[in-house]
Amino acid sequence: MLLENRGMTVRCFRSAESFLTELQQQPQDPPACVVSDIRMPGMSGLDLLNEVQRTVPTLPVILITGHGDIAMAVMAIKTGAFDFIEKPFDDERLIASIGSAVERGARERIRHSERAELEARVAELSPRQREVMQLVADGLSTKEIALKLDISPRTVENYRAWVMEKMGANNLAALVRKVVLLQERET
């Protein structure tokens, strides 16, 4: 009721298992955020968090509990919980946490989508093109790449042009940003 009064759409589930069943059937259309108690019949909130992280890693999970301690909070955050809130909690704290989680989840989904697109583009590159792309991103000059790969500078320029076209990069800075995004770990 509290969340609906703030204009949020809320769906409740009888159990963590019923939520996971639905999530696994439609992982491409997840909710914006999950709020779960730690102690529930059947699966615990921490186990639910683990399953959500495995199924939809970009989905933020907020855990609430009336029986928490520091060790449990640390474990929840290390496992990937967006927030850990102890009962009784201030309504505004929960609402603010959900708002922040929804925003982060949206950013993560965009980043995940961009990363998937980049991975598909990289799959279209030849092994040599990938090698040149990495060396360019590492900051090597055309001459340095040519020496390292034992090819002519002109060949390096050709590879770089093909890589930039296939990766959809207008300039070297854009290419480097794309390589950095590919190398970042999903958080």
pTM: 0.72
Question: Across the chain, how many H-helices and E-strands are there?
Answer: 9, 3
The answer to whether the CB of 19 falls within 8 A of the CB of 55 is: no
pLDDT tens, the chain, 187 aa long = 788 888 888 999 999 999 999 998 887 778 899 999 998 989 999 999 999 999 888 999 999 998 877 888 888 999 999 999 999 999 999 999 999 999 999 998 898 888 899 999 999 999 999 999 999 999 999 999 999 999 999 999 999 999 999 999 999 999 999 999 888 754 4
The reported pLDDT for the residue numbered 29 is 79
Closest among 91, 175, 181 to 139, alpha carbons compared? 175
The reported pLDDT for the residue numbered 186 is 43
**Cα distance between residue 35 and residue 136, in whole Å:** 44
Residue 35 neighbours by CB distance under 10 Å: 20
| Burial label, 66 (beta-carbon count in 10 A; 0-12, 13-18, 19+) | exposed
The reported pLDDT for the residue numbered 187 is 41
Domains of the chain plus CATH, in order, are: 2-109 (3.40.50.2300), 124-183 (1.10.10.10)
**Cα distance between residue 99 and residue 102, in whole Å:** 5
